[in-house]
């Protein structure tokens, strides 16, 4: 898709890519949202400069998205992209007033995170038979890391061997916004990582990648490959519609809160910047209690 406004967008996109260190997926989403918006105002209002944009133009764009059945949650994400862009422009003196300041996000129905039951995860990791080769052990390690640490798929595929502290049994993760966090590892998982690393070194002594995880083709796994692996194995233990790496992150957080972990601790482990983002996992547990009460109580 051509980007005629590239000179306008480039500084901001470089900022989120190189300074904020957003993932390639997030970077692409921001770029697409901004190109879509400026293409709209250029056609509808003959406007091409950030300083010319008004709140009314933004609301017209939102209305046009609604007409083509774009969901409120998606529109809100696009508005978030605009808000970030115009905030950047204001800070850097490109505009004198922020046109998104009075723009309100659309109301959306609260959607609870999907997760896998704890006993299903125990069955998958402890009782399921994986191929007895390097690839199979890599698949098992991928699932174990995602579930036992709650890291994002982008953090997993970029994970370096140097981020594992075997002596302290902990993992150092560089997350969104270049924010670093430390995640403790179970002794069993630390040993599994050590064994995997030893096998990798023996099989590929000349491997040029520093990544912890490598495919049998001596390349780091892609996000797509991780997604396919997770979907394949989760299908063995659950009929839930969603079977993605993020579901394992949700499962990690849900099981921690369900077993009494403090919400602030879960927030730090997940790398959330706000406690509000973590509080959704308490709702999952409340809904589960309601379901148990309804099924078990004689007057439920």
Domain with CATH 1.10.443.10 in the chain: 118-246
pLDDT, position 297: 53
pLDDT, position 290: 56
Q: 266 with 253: CB under 8 angstroms? A: yes
Respond yes or no: is residue 246 known to be catalytic. Answer: yes
pLDDT, position 171: 95
**C-alpha angle 226/230/235, rounded to 5°?**
155
pLDDT by residue (tens digit) across 211-254?
A: 999 999 999 999 999 999 999 999 999 988 899 999 999 999 99
pLDDT, position 289: 52
Of 132 and 288, the one with more pLDDT: 132
pLDDT, position 207: 86
Choosing from 140, 152, 255, 267, the catalytic residue is: 152
Rounded to whole angstroms, the Cα distance separating 34 from 3 reads: 10
What's the pLDDT band for 4 if we cut at 50, 70, 90?
Answer: very low
Rounded to whole angstroms, the Cα distance separating 84 from 44 reads: 23
Domain with CATH 1.10.150 in the chain: 6-91
Choosing from 176, 219, 231, 283, the catalytic residue is: 176
- Which one of 3.50.30.30, 3.40.50.1950, 1.10.443.10, 3.50.50.60 gives the CATH number of domain 118-246? 1.10.443.10
pLDDT at 81 over 50: yes
pLDDT by residue (tens digit) across 149-193?
A: 999 999 999 999 999 999 999 999 988 877 899 999 999 999 999
Respond yes or no: is residue 109 known to be catalytic. Answer: no
Respond yes or no: is residue 181 known to be catalytic. Answer: no
pLDDT at 46 over 90: yes
Choosing from 17, 242, 246, 283, the catalytic residue is: 246
Respond yes or no: is residue 22 known to be catalytic. Answer: no
| Complete edge-to-edge strand list for the sheet that includes strand 164-165 | 164-165, 170-174, 180-184
pLDDT by residue (tens digit) across 99-122?
A: 999 999 898 776 678 899 999 999
Respond yes or no: is residue 281 known to be catalytic. Answer: yes
Rounded to 5 degrees, φ, ψ at 180 are: -95, 140
Rounded to whole angstroms, the Cα distance separating 234 from 251 reads: 12
pLDDT at 96 over 90: yes
pLDDT at 261 over 60: yes
Specify the length of the chain in residues. 300
Respond yes or no: is residue 176 known to be catalytic. Answer: yes
Which CATH number applies to 6-91? 1.10.150
161, two tokens: 């061997």
Evaluate if pTM is beyond 0.75.
Answer: no
Please tell me the number of Cα atoms within 13 Å of 114 on its side-chain side.
Answer: 11
pLDDT, position 31: 95
Mean pLDDT, the chain, rounded, equals 90
């Amino acid at each position: 898709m051509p980007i005629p406004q590239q000179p306008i967008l480039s500084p901001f996109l470089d900022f989120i890519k190189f300074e904020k260190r957003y993932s390639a997926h997030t970077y692409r989403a921001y770029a697409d949202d901004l190109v879509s918006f400026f293409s709209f105002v250029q056609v509808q209002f003959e406007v091409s400069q950030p300083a010319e944009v008004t709140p009314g133009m933004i609301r017209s764009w939102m209305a046009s998205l609604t007409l083509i059945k774009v969901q409120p949650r998606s529109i809100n994400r696009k508005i978030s992209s605009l808000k970030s862009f115009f905030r950047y422009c204001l800070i850097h003196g490109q505009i004198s007033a922020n046109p998104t300041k009075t723009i309100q996000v659309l109301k959306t129905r609260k959607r609870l995170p999907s997760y896998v039951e704890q006993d299903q995860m125990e069955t998958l990791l402890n009782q399921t038979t994986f191929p007895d080769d390097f690839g199979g052990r890599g698949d098992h390690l991928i699932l174990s890391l995602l579930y036992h640490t709650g890291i994002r798929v982008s953090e997993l595929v970029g994970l370096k061997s140097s981020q594992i502290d075997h002596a302290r049994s902990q993992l150092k993760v560089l997350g969104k916004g270049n924010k670093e966090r430390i995640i403790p590892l179970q002794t069993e998982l630390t040993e599994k990582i050590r064994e995997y690393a030893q096998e990798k070194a023996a099989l590929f002594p000349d491997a040029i990648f520093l990544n912890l995880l490598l495919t049998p083709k001596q390349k780091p796994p892609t996000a797509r490959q991780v997604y396919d692996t997770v979907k394949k194995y989760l299908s063995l233990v659950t009929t839930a519609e969603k079977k993605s790496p993020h579901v394992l992150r949700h499962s990690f957080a849900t099981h921690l809160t369900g077993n009494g972990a403090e919400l602030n601790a879960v927030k730090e482990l997940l790398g959330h910047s706000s406690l509000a983002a973590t509080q959704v996992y308490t709702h999952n547990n409340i809904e589960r209690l309601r379901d148990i009460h309804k099924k078990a109580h004689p007057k439920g």
